[in-house]
Structure 1
Amino acid sequence: MADSSSSSFWTQANALLRKNLTFQKRHVKTNVRLILFPFLLCVLLVVLQKLINNELDKSDNKCGCICKREEGGRCQEQVCGIQYSDLDQVSTCAIPNPPEWPPLLQVPAPQYRAVQSDIIPFSDLPDNSCRRTGSCPVTFLFTGHNQSFGESMFVFLCVFTYYLTYYCVNTVAGATIKIQGSESKTEYTNFLEPAFFSGLPIYYLQTQCPSNSTFSVPIQILTTNMQQEVRCAQGLHLWRSSSSEVNNELYKGYRRGNTERQINEIVAAYDFLNTNENRFNVNIWYNATYKNDSGFDSIALARIPRSVNLVSNSYLQFLQGPGTEMLFEFVKEMPKPETQVKLDVASLLGTLFFTWVVLQLFPVVLTSLVYEKQQRLRIMMKMHGLGDGPYWLISYGYFLSISVTYMLCFVIFGSVIGLKFFTLNDYSIQFVFYFIYINLQIALAFLVAAMFSNVKTATVIGYIGVFGSGLLGGFLFQFFVEDTSFPRGWIIVLELYPGFALYRGLYEFAQYSFTGDTLGTDGMRWGDLNDSTNGMKDVLIIMLVEWFLVIFVAYYIDKVLSSGSGKSPLFFLKRFQKKPKSSFRKPSIQRQDSKVFVQMEKPDVSQEREKVEQLLLEPTINHAIVCDNLKKVYPGRDGNPEKFAVRGLSLALPQGECFGMLGPNGAGKTSFINMMIGLTKPSSGTAFVQGLDITTNMDGIYTSMGVCPQHDLLWETLTGREHLLFYGRLKNLKGSALTQAVEESLKSVNLFHGGVADRQAGKYSGGMKRRLSVAISLIGDPRVVYMDEPSTGLDPASRNNLWKVIKQAKQNRAIILTTHSMEEAEVLCDRLGIFVDGSLQCIGNPKELKGRYGGSYVFTMTTSVDHENEVENLVHKLSPNSSKIYHISGTQKFELPKGDIRIADVFRAVDTAKRNFTVFAWGLADTTLEDVFIKVARGAQAFNTLS
């Protein structure tokens, strides 16, 4: 069973929170730089605002009086009011008496007027040859429920003008010509009608245009005198059978391409619906092709009134006769005071810049998550008992608190320095928008982190995403949003990408703040979200749904991949399966292929396997680890065969025992450890730790396990003491018990004195890091500890001190230790197992192994080269079964079976040899553990080669 003292959910959460806060304290400068970025950007926008406003506020842009003609240093002619002929000051100067403009129709340019084409197949339209001569008529369309009534209306509607008497004098004043039009774009207001300043002609419409129908007339606008060209345009009225037919023709004729032949524009269309002698009910289509670039449909303000007047007069004349007329002499703007010249730079540039500001948090969160993954810190925490629930709760809350603080500083900075982007829009809408998005961004970072294992790669991709999202939003997505002809459904599809959703929300804030600053009104309010042109509601709904969806998918993927071995994608179905009655199960050795394998094993290995079988049938709590036919096979790649890393290992390890694993590099020791600590899954077989199966219950095993990995897994900016405090809290240590355990651990590995304990781990030497890793594995009294080459890189004094710590620690726990040091294995391990090519070749305590595989003495003698034969003869006389194992330049080594000789005989023979020839050196040694290791390894490798 798992340790009953395992830490609770909130204990683990508290440990991780304290560690994160300590980690955050180490990065105060980084956080300050992060927060300063939006602050500096806001200051930059304010400085730009001031510079631009000062430039716009110069005298050239102000209303007032200037000297038009100067002689002798004195002004001879002074002009006051709007100063320049291009009327740039119209938007800022006081206009107490706005000019009167004749009401105009929006007339297509000659090259765009409707003609017969592939897209509009009506035969009553003129032939497209008229475009070459510029004589194409302007077309009006009519429809309704009653065709005869509509045709009778044509009679009155088609009387476009009276006689052209005194035309050149009276056209602009509007006294003679009843219907006039222009192909120029309109402005925001009617203070300036660009039809009279664009250089484009003013059209007057007639049923037939006479010859020499183009005039040039002088006009005066305020203080400006200019010549205006006036041309005749022939009006053509055409009946269509239904409104859908009209709508289809208008849609196909709208500007959709770059060539003239793709454009067929209609002046206007009228649907008389159910109009009759007693009812006037008309729908009007109008030409919006030339609306200004701002997106405001000011044509409806300036050009539509003439269409309405035209059809209204037609109906009156139909009822009352040609003498009846509804006068419409001019359109005129409301008077206005002088306004200051200014430009809201934050609203114009803020959408792109603020998108970058908010998205900057994404790579920060992403790299933090990938760093833990790259350094294997996440799995290290998991192996010491940190559950997925506390990890997600604290990590998510940690990043959320950082993001909220960042965004609050951002909005506060912008508001304090007076950016209209923040001050005009409702703060509650801003809070909801930013809060939902940063949650979506954090969830997205958790999801994307599963795809990366390298911090540098994640950082590069993260910042590419930041700048790419902003630039694509500003130079692609925004054009789709502003294009009213682009389908709204596709806009919503594009907003499914979180970067575009963020951009759209900021774009709406910018539009409302710019309009509010220009018109002196409020910015966005909650009621504005119901506006059909406002995309904020759609964005909020999309981001909210994506937030829950992404966080669910991210948690699921993390649950599957959170440990090295991972979980089954259908892990959530296990709760519906029946639980086994016992933690142990029948031994897997019963398979026929395993029986064949047993016959080739050494007796001690077979005995260990039989012990495991017995324990699985009659489990006891005395054995902390029981491995049952554990195998690991790596699949073949690039044409190479599959690799057997561990071949059917069976091992039983009781409490209080230190088991040492010896073997050459690549023998499978680390693969075995990785399976036991959950980094990889066994290919077959299993193991039980404290009665819990490693294939199904690693989360329970982690609560009573300690690990000292082969490579030190430490936070570079945390101190040794902070590491032990964190892992101690994970093991349910609290208060004085935690403090005492940490101090004892630091003292035991010689990291307590001299301020070493409070030095950042990144500044430790390799040996100090190794000692800290050992201390981490032992803190909290884990029942099972895995140490992978714990003394690597230590000096002799530190190594001896560490051995004392491990010796003391093994009294009440099971330890599995891998090492290449035979001395370490002999000092620390109660039993040893030698691993070669994934198989356990022998098992026993060091003395047994030396006795079993080392039943000989090693005799060494060094003489001159001339006496080598005499040495060989001497050894053969001592032991006929001796064998030479080493020979170089007079130095020879021989193995002498212990049963063939007595040590006294060897001394006596050497004394005799010294009288016959010179002996430089000689020695007789018993077999060492290293000799045993070499002998077993060579024998196993030779057997595997032959087989």
Structure 2
Amino acid sequence: MNWLTVNQLAVLLWKNFTLKKRRLISSVTEVLAALLFVVMLLIFRTLTGIDVAGPYHFKPQPISTMPSFIKDAKEWELIYIPSDIDVVTEIIENVKKNLNTTLKVRGFPSEAEFENYSLLGFASQKVLGAIVFDCGFKNKNDALPLQIKYHLRFIGVQRTIWWPDKTGWKTTFLFPNHPSIQPRNPDFHDGGSPGYIREGFLAVQHAVDKSIMLYHETSAGKKLFDETNILIQRFPYPAHPQDKLLWISSPFIPLMFIIMFSSIVLSITRSIVFEKEKRLKEYQLIIGLRNWIIWAGYFFTFFPLYVIIILLICALLFIVEEPILRYSDCSFIFVFLTCYAIASICFAFMVSTFFNKTHLAASAGNLLFFASFFPYNFISEHYGMLGLTTKVTACLSANVALALGINILIKLEIQEIGVKWHNLWTPANLEDNFIFGYMFGMLLLDALLYSLVTWYVEAVFPGQCDVPQPWYFFLMRSYWFGKPKIQKTAEETKCFPIVHNCFEAEPTNLVAGIQIKRLYKEFRNKPAVSNLSLNVYEGQITVLLGHNGAGKSTTLSVLTGRFPATRGEAYINGYSISDNMIEIRKDLGFCPQYDLLFDDLTLSEHLFFYCMVKGIPEDINCVEVEHMLSMFNLKDNYHALSGSVSGGVRRKLSIIMALTGGSKVVILDEPSSGMDPMSRRATWDILQHYKFNRTILLTTHYMDEADILGDRIAIMVRGTLHCCGSSVFLKQIYGAGYRIVMEKEPYCDVNNIIAMIQHHIPDAVLENDLGSELSFILSKKYVSRFEALFTELEIKRKTLGIANFGASITTMEEVFLK
């Protein structure tokens, strides 16, 4: 990175921070909006305390108790499978005895028949459960093996729950879907849902196990069972603090953090797209800034704002009398939120590349930002069922990664552990294998991925800002290492003049600063510029004339690198516009057709900014700028914001910006449009003064401007060059001759005047005879007779009734119209 690059980045940051300072109210609003939720939490903290819950002690529960919903046991059935094995029938009879109930038992040969019975028969509503033996019985009389495999089937929706749980018995979970930091269902001594006791599951399981064991046991074993009573009791749970604030707000805190940062992401997107829409970024690229420097400037402009907000958030969360987070490490939270800040800035960069209109970008960007948070709702709802891979993949959305990180933070805070550097790779719960370290890595990966998308889309679809790259540009060696910086000599690049009577012979003693060779530019197969060849010489002002749509602005856009040429080539200072546009822009000054200025920068700040971009220190360029400001009479507006001055003043500033910074090639697109006559004259004087050692190419619609400024004038018609030469040369080729205009007296004798003029100039033509004005067109071939004609008119002026008369040569307007 050379000194010029560092200098450009520094002055770009100065410009961005100056604009931020001018929009101070907006910046302060963004900060306050981000802190609003934290302030609300602090207020609630003062209103809510931390209570101590517990300790919890639970009563023993008998496992043989039948479910409370069984009022009349004779109406209920216990199913067993298979029903055609004698030993299974015997076991089931013992199960019924062990349950000490009058339940009916019904057997089915296979599970398929039982399932048909359950689906088609209404009686299946009264089935307590089904016992399915899977012992591989072959014959009806097979004995019961010592190693027995069986499973129990109960109804999916538990009968003892008032509000049925959609996940039923949760047999696929090792731990609850939403892990709790207090004992699960603390108000239920039997454990609550899933109701293994209250639904009769444990009673049936105990009866089956007892029957199997008694089948294989001796009489001593049977006596032992008769004397044993089995109870089940939950483990006690110690007293623990209960932070009501975090407990109540935990479902909403992730979303609140997303909302806190949404205004900043929206601001970043709007700022970037605004510069793109107003073509300010395009002008900065043309004037010599590299694209990556502009993106780096954006990043280092918004990142400090994020850091300030994060520091204030950490201060409010920790450095108060009643902190919201009591156990976590402040530096850990700061680094975590900083990683999210980097990812969200890159997300805003990515979104901005897809839009060219500020309002559309603001609306769609806001929608995309919140849409990227929606997967968290699904993850939160099914947290226990999702694997580690799914959770990590969801963190490809930075908003999801932030939400999951805050979720873990709250869990550890409630457990009085908090997030610290030493437990970065420790899960918040035994049942949760998702750890905080993954979030750090995923946020940084998100920033990288968002940046790659930004880089690719910006390169392939740059809009109006630059020449688009092919979709495979990243595979091209020239993209990474650049094309050779070959500066060809004037002889190598010179466009050979067109030999035609409409093209004046080109100067041989001047160096061509711009050489255009057979240039074509097409839009959707419609030619805008066709076979254009032209040399623009150093030390001269070359004027490009043409009606609207003739291709003038398109030609300038190709030369400045805004559009790529369809075919042909052009060289500026010996560098090809196809291969070395970066080198060309170092010495290029450009005044666009419409003023591309920052409304919140003053005139002096504009000049300082673009001088520094060119690498010219302010003190060296100060004398030159002062001189131009004086000629344009702009000293009174020197410290005025460009958005508050008139269009003429803005136009003058655009011209000065094009000429400052030591630009060797200056391209001006209708520079004097919108100026008053005095300002136009001042513009002409400045351009005449600064054309030495510069190559100046300009377009204009003012014929007098072209006549006065143009050392050489090129006229384009429908994208092609029709003629080129000095003003005098073109007038000689296309001019009708000379015009003599007379002011008549009331007694004027027009016939005598016509006779006198045609005596000297036989082919003179009466052009106009209206009111008191009389005019004639005089052929160029009789120039030698003009003196005698004018002498006779002067002598006989009063006799002929002529108040006064004057003669003029053909104007450039007439040449242009022809």
Query: Structure 1 CA distance, aligned partners of 2:549 and 2:608?
Result: 35
Mean CA deviation greater in 313-322 or 454-463? 313-322
Residues 885 and 464 of structure 1, relative CA distance in 2, 3 Å threshold? farther
Corresponding residue for residue 481 of structure 1: 382
In 2, distance between residues paired with 1:244 and 1:547? Answer: 56
Q: Match for residue 835 of structure 1?
A: 716
Tell me, in whole angstroms, the C-alpha distance in 1 between the residues paired with 2:621 and 2:555: 32
Is residue 449 from structure 1 mapped to residue 349 from structure 2 by the alignment? no
Cα contact 1:141–1:238 (8 A) shared by 2? yes
Deviation at 1:354, TM superposition (A): 1.0
Q: CA separation of 1:500/1:625 partners in 2, compared to 1, >3 Å: closer, same or farther?
A: same
Written as runs of structure 1 = structure 2, the 5 A alignment for 1:171-250 is 206=101, 208=103, 236-240=130-134
Which shows bigger deviation, 796-805 or 761-770?
Answer: 796-805
Decide which of 697, 700, 725 is 1:844's aligned counterpart.
725
Superposed CA deviations along residues 624-652 of structure 1, whole A, max 9, x for unmatched, are: 1111112222225xxxxx2x322222122
| Counterpart contact for 2:131–2:152, Cα < 8 Å | no
Determine if contact 2:46/2:322 at 8 Å carries over to the other structure. Answer: no
Question: CA shift at 1:327, angstroms?
Answer: 3.8
Q: Answer yes or no: is 1:18 the counterpart of 2:14.
A: yes
Selected match of 1:729 from 599, 612, 622: 612
Q: Deviations over 1:555-582 (max 9, x none)?
A: 2332345543333444452438995987
Q: Secondary structure at the match of 1:661?
A: strand
Distance 1:788 1:138, change over 3 A: farther
Letter in 1 for 2:103: Q
Q: CA 1:828–1:367 in structure 2 vs 1: closer, same or farther (change >3 Å)?
A: same
What corresponds to 1:394 in structure 2?
A: 297
Pairing 1:365-514 to 2, within 5 Å after superposition: 365-416=268-319, 422-427=325-330, 429-469=332-372, 472=374, 476-482=377-383, 484-485=384-385, 494-513=394-413
Q: Matched residues in 2 for 1:747 and 1:726: separation? A: 20
Aligned twin of 1:217: none
Matched, 1:689 2:534: no
- Give the secondary structure class of the aligned counterpart of 1:629: strand
Q: Tell me which amino acid in the other structure corresponds to 1:622.
A: V
Q: Deviations over 1:585-629 (max 9, x none)?
A: 988999xxxx9xx7xx84243855xx9xxx9xxxx9932111111
Q: Deviations over 1:408-463 (max 9, x none)?
A: 32233233457876444444553443333322222222222221111121112222
Residue 8 (structure 1) aligned to one of 4, 8, 13:
4
Q: Is the 8 A contact 2:22 2:600 kept in 1?
A: yes
- 8 A Cα contact 1:632 1:684, kept in partner: yes
Q: CA deviation at 1:868?
A: 6.3
User: Out of 244, 251, 255, which is 1:352 matched to?
Assistant: 255
Structure 1 residues 819 and 729, CA, compared in 2 at 3 Å: closer, same or farther? Answer: same
Contact kept, 8 Å, 1:477 with 1:500, in 2: the verdict is no
Aligned partner of 2:457 among 546, 549, 557: 557
**SS of alignment partner, residue 373 of structure 1:** helix
In structure 2, relative to structure 1, the CA distance for the partners of 1:700 and 1:458 (3 Å cut) is same
Q: Does the C-alpha gap of structure 1 residues 571 and 348 become closer, same or farther in structure 2, counting only changes over 3 Å?
A: closer
Partner of 2:519: 630
Query: For residues 359 and 758 of structure 2, what CA distance do their matches in structure 1 show?
Result: 67
Query: C-alpha displacement at 1:916, in angstroms?
Result: 7.5
TM-score by length of 2: 0.78
Unaligned runs of 5+ in 2: 106-125, 137-146
Partner of residue 703, structure 2: 822
Per-residue deviation, 1:813: 1.0
Which one of 211, 233, 243 corresponds to residue 331 of structure 1? Answer: 233
Are 1:718 and 2:718 matched, yes or no?
Answer: no
Q: Distance in 2 between matches of 1:340 and 1:574?
A: 62
Cα RMSD (Å): 4.9
- Percent identity among equivalent residues? 23
Change in Cα spacing, 1:727 to 1:491, as seen in structure 2 (3 Å) is same
Post-superposition CA distance 1:209-260 (Å, at most 9, x none):
79xxxxxxxxxxxxxxxxxxxxx9956532135999989978x9579xxxx9
- SS of corresponding position for 1:19: helix
Counterpart residue type for residue 605 of structure 1: F
Moved more, 912-921 or 549-558: 912-921
How far off its partner does 1:285 sit?
Answer: 10
Amino acid in structure 1 at the alignment position of 2:222:
G
Distance 2:702 2:692 in 1: 22
Asked if 2 retains the 8 angstrom alpha-carbon contact of 1:265 and 1:287, the reply is: no
Matched, 1:896 2:792: no
What are the Cα deviations for residues 359-416 of structure 1, in whole angstroms up to 9, with x where unaligned?
3322121112112211212221122221234333333233333323322322332334
CA pair 451-892 structure 1, distance change in 2 beyond 3 A:
farther
Contact 1:240 1:246 in 2 (8 A): yes
Name the CA distance, whole Å, in 2 between partners of 1:881 and 1:24.
Answer: 71
The code of the aligned residue for 2:539 comes to: G
Q: Residues of 2 paired with 1:898 and 1:244: CA distance? A: 124
CA distance, structure 1, for counterparts of residue 257 and residue 250 of structure 2: 10
* C-alpha distance in structure 1 between counterparts of 2:178 and 2:658, whole Å: 76
SS in structure 1 of the partner of residue 601 of structure 2: coil
Tell me the equivalent position of 2:141.
Answer: none
Distance 1:605 1:13 in 2: 46
Aligned counterpart, 1:883? 765
Q: Distance in 2 between matches of 1:342 and 1:498?
A: 28
> Counterpart of 1:528 in 2: which secondary structure?
coil
**Could you tell me which of 512, 535, 545 is aligned with 2:445?**
545
Cα-to-partner distance string for 1:440-499 (whole Å, 9 max, x where unaligned): 2222222222211111211122223344455x357x4355434x4467665555543443
Residue equivalent to 1:47:
43
Candidates 28, 33, 38, aligned match of 1:37:
33
In 1: Cα distance, 2:749 partner to 2:557 partner? 54
Q: How many Å separate the matches in 1 of 2:400 and 2:81?
A: 41
Check the 8 A contact 1:421/1:510 in 2, yes or no: no
Cα–Cα, structure 1 residues 152 and 804, in superposed 2: closer, same or farther, change >3 Å? farther
Q: Tell me, in whole angstroms, the C-alpha distance in 2 between the residues paired with 1:845 and 1:106.
A: 114
Distance 2:697 2:781 in 1: 36
Cα distance 1:654–1:757, how it changes in 2: closer, same or farther (>3 A)?
A: same
Q: Which residue of structure 2 aligns with residue 652 of structure 1? A: 535
1:566 equivalent in alignment to 2:525: no
Please list every run of 5 or more consecutive structure 1 residues that lacks an aligned counterpart in the other structure: 1-5, 58-90, 112-129, 163-205, 211-231, 269-283, 637-641, 936-947
User: Shift in Å at residue 885 of structure 1?
Assistant: 4.2
Code of the aligned partner of 1:554 = T
**2: distance between equivalents of 1:866 and 1:109?**
130
- Once the two structures are overlaid, the 10-residue window that deviates more, 831-840 or 772-781, is 831-840
* 2:375–2:394 CA contact under 8 A, matched in 1: no
Q: Distance in 1 between matches of 2:547 and 2:801?
A: 40
Aligned positions of 1:511-526 closer than 5 A? 511-513=411-413, 515-516=414-415, 520=416, 522=418, 525-526=423-424
**Residue 784 (1) aligns with residue 665 (2):** yes
SS at match of 1:667: coil
Equivalent pair of 1:346/1:421 in contact (CA under 8 Å): no
* TM-score of the two chains, using structure 1 as the length reference: 0.68
Give the AA of the match of 1:674: S
Q: Which sits farther off after the overlay, 447-456 or 733-742?
A: 733-742
Question: Cα distance 1:727–1:93, how it changes in 2: closer, same or farther (>3 A)?
Answer: closer
